Amino acid sequence: MKIHSKLPNVGTTIFTVMSALANEHNAINLSQGFPNWDCPQRLKDLVNHYLQKGMNQYCPMAGVGVLREELAVKVKNLYDLEVDPGNEVTVVAGATQGIFTAITAFIRKGDEVILIEPAYDCYAPGIEVVEGVPVAYELSAPDYQINWDEIQELITPKTRMIIINTPQNPIGKTLKEEDLQALDRITRDTEILVLSDEVYEHLVYDGKDHQSILRYPELFKRGIAVYSFGKTFHNTGWKVGYCVAPEYLMKEFRKVHQFNVFTVNSFVQYGIADFLKEPEFYLSLPNFYQQKRDFFGEAMKGSRLKPLDSEGTYFQLFEYGHISDMPDTEFAKWMTTEIGVAAIPVSVFYTSRKDEKMIRLCFAKTEDLLEEAGKLLRNI
């Protein structure tokens, strides 16, 4: 039987490739973005309580009511936005499912979607599956500054959506107030939706505030914001997140959500709902991860890899062009096999595979591992 692939150019993700290579060579894995410690015991106890209590059957399609109510409180406290937990908040099976659902709900054949690259690798395939057209706007090292006038020039009558990511994976940059104001300006009075990937909302450093689209009333009117409990609570394997959007958009979002997931595991939702009543945990994350970023920076002193500033996420970019002219994918593999530290090449986040001799390292690791990685990387 002949199969006409909807994603003919997609193979195994670089994250899987590099993690497998790290395992094969017993290398320190700073490639894939997950912590090497457990999530809070208090959260596990709450989830286990509801598991044992029998909260093990289907729950409402949009998520359990008490969780959506707690999320509405969180949104109000953080972004001063009143959202209706019944109609404007939906619990999803991880942020990637939320992003895919949003794209599927609103993008039709021939619709154009502007991506700001380097971009996380789930955006473009989601667009292509529904026969939309990804339109890449490429940022350049080392500052990765967005020129919003240039983005405006990419807008055509077919433009249906702009996808933003802040803090931005892989580059570790954050959008500023002036960026959101510019996005508001170029989308206002248009039919363009804004899909905002904000999974690292609590990982913003140096005393800065996260600039969510939820802070901007006009952007929220045309926006879908996506969040991840996995990034917030150190449990990426649980695959639970949530989306916030105005009711008229959420109504369409849920039409797709109910047929590709329907609902998310119930007992975990009840446990998270209780844990959210203790906001001190997620409010402490900026300092927690900033300390790791700074510790890793000290561990890397003496390395020939040139660091770029990390304003958010738990990633940092390093430039190696002054060391080697190897393509970044080959350099990352060489680092893994010969130096003993796995990284992600940044070119994979560009549609064009633009190679600026950059690698991404993850500092969501314990200090002993970061210290050892720094020691090894000083051998380059």
Rg over alpha carbons for the chain, rounded to the nearest Å, is: 21
Work out the pLDDT band at 4, boundaries 50, 70, 90: confident
Work out the pLDDT band at 197, boundaries 50, 70, 90: very high
pLDDT digits (tens, 9 = 90+) for 335-379: 999 999 999 999 999 999 999 999 999 999 999 999 999 999 999
Q: In angstroms, rounded to a whole number, what is the distance separating the alpha carbons of residues 308 and 315? A: 10
Q: What is the pLDDT of residue 10?
A: 79
How do the domains of the chain map onto residue ranges? 14-32+284-377, 41-278
Q: In angstroms, rounded to a whole number, what is the distance separating the alpha carbons of residues 10 and 230? A: 25
Bond before 170 cis per omega within 30 degrees: yes
Q: Does the fold of domain 41-278 match that of domain 14-32+284-377? A: no
Work out the pLDDT band at 235, boundaries 50, 70, 90: very high
| pTM of this structure | 0.96
Asked if 67 and 229 count as a contact pair (C-beta separation under 8 A), the reply is no
Q: In angstroms, rounded to a whole number, what is the distance separating the alpha carbons of residues 163 and 148? A: 13
- Which of 2-16, 26-40, 264-278 comes out lowest in average pLDDT? 2-16
pLDDT surpasses 80 at 21: yes
Residue 86 token pair: 């019944």
Q: In angstroms, rounded to a whole number, what is the distance separating the alpha carbons of residues 233 and 367? A: 19
Asked if 121 and 32 count as a contact pair (C-beta separation under 8 A), the reply is no
Asked if 242 and 227 count as a contact pair (C-beta separation under 8 A), the reply is yes
Work out the pLDDT band at 133, boundaries 50, 70, 90: very high
pLDDT digits (tens, 9 = 90+) for 275-323: 999 999 999 999 999 999 999 999 999 999 999 999 999 999 999 999 9
Residue 349 token pair: 């986040």
Residue 229 token pair: 């409990």
Q: For a pLDDT cut of 70, what percent of the chain falls above it?
A: 100
Q: Which fold has domain 14-32+284-377?
A: Aspartate Aminotransferase, domain 1 (3.90.1150)
Instruction: Give the up-direction half-sphere exposure of residue 144: CA atoms within 13 A in the CB hemisphere.
Output: 24
Q: What is the pLDDT of residue 5?
A: 86
pLDDT surpasses 80 at 11: no
The overall average pLDDT reported for the chain is 97
Return the CATH class of domain 41-278: alpha beta
DSSP label of 168: B
Q: What is the pLDDT of residue 285?
A: 98
Q: What is the pLDDT of residue 32?
A: 87
Asked if 299 and 30 count as a contact pair (C-beta separation under 8 A), the reply is no
